[in-house]
């Protein structure tokens, strides 16, 4: 069964890579719209191959990340709009069809309430939270300008990291490699290191935010707000 799952993942990955090669930058936007909305679609199999192609001179890495940000924002706007216009009753009744069961919705709301609007930035760096943090933002009627800035910044940071990773593997493989090689090399040689590095990166970002948040709270208490 594990072998069948690996073959399925490899087939999907190959299809995504081929689509990106065929469609180019619009393909990145398309897949990142899916990744940022309620569709369970990993950004890793989009941005790592994009970085790989950039290392081979077939894409511009900066433009690839920019397209990823655009796609992420569109997907986030979809979730935001669903929550804002259809409201909590709709999500509690039909959210399970969007991968958002009531208990998950409550966890997302608790995360948003605990971290505030900046949570839409830090949430983009956390698996699962990344896809669903836009729902509580929509329910809360978060200012769309702030939502766009925080979401775009978080998505840009994450996508830039993945693109840089793919670019690095692309430089190691040379011109004769394929984009899928980047993912295979990660799984075979560097999976543990990358997982640890990604976790540490997220922890550092969240820790810095926590320090800023605590300082902000102390300042508010000091002024009596």
Q: What is the pLDDT of residue 63?
A: 95
Comparing 63-77, 87-101, 147-161, the range with the smallest average pLDDT is 87-101
pLDDT reported for residue 117? 79
Annotate 72-99 with b (16+ C-beta within 10 A) or e (fewer): bbbbbbbbbebbbeeeeeebeeebeebe
56: number of Cβ within 10 Å: 17
pLDDT at 61: 93
Residue 55, CA distances (Å) to 61, 68, 163, 193 in order: 8, 17, 10, 22
Global pTM reads 0.74
Which pLDDT value is given to residue 111? 80
Give 222's pLDDT tier (boundaries 50, 70, 90): low
Question: Taking the domains of the chain in order of start, what are their residue ranges?
Answer: 2-223
Which residue from 110, 113, 86 is spatially nearest to 97, judged by alpha carbons?
86
């Amino acid at each position: 069964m594990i072998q069948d799952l690996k073959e399925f993942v490899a087939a999907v990955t190959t299809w995504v890579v081929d689509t990106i090669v065929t469609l180019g930058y619009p393909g990145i936007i398309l897949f990142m719209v899916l990744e940022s909305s309620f569709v369970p679609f990993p950004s890793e199999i989009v941005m790592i191959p994009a970085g790989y192609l950039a290392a081979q001179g077939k894409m511009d890495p900066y433009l690839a990340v920019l397209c990823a940000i655009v796609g992420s924002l569109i997907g986030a706007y979809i979730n935001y709009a669903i929550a804002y216009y259809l409201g909590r009753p709709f999500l509690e009744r039909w959210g399970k069809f969007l991968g958002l069961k009531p208990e998950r919705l409550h966890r997302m709301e608790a995360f948003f309430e605990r971290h505030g609007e900046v949570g839409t930035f830090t949430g983009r760096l956390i698996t699962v939270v990344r896809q669903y943090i836009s729902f509580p933002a929509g329910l809360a009627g978060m200012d769309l300008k702030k939502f766009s800035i925080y979401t775009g910044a978080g998505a840009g940071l994450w996508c830039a990291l993945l693109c840089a990773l793919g670019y690095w593997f692309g430089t190691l493989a040379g011109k004769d490699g394929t984009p899928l090689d980047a993912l295979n090399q990660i799984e075979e040689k560097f999976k543990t290191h990358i997982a640890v590095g990604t976790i540490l990166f997220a922890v550092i970002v969240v820790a810095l935010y926590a320090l800023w948040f605590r300082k902000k709270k102390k300042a508010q208490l000091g002024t009596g707000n």
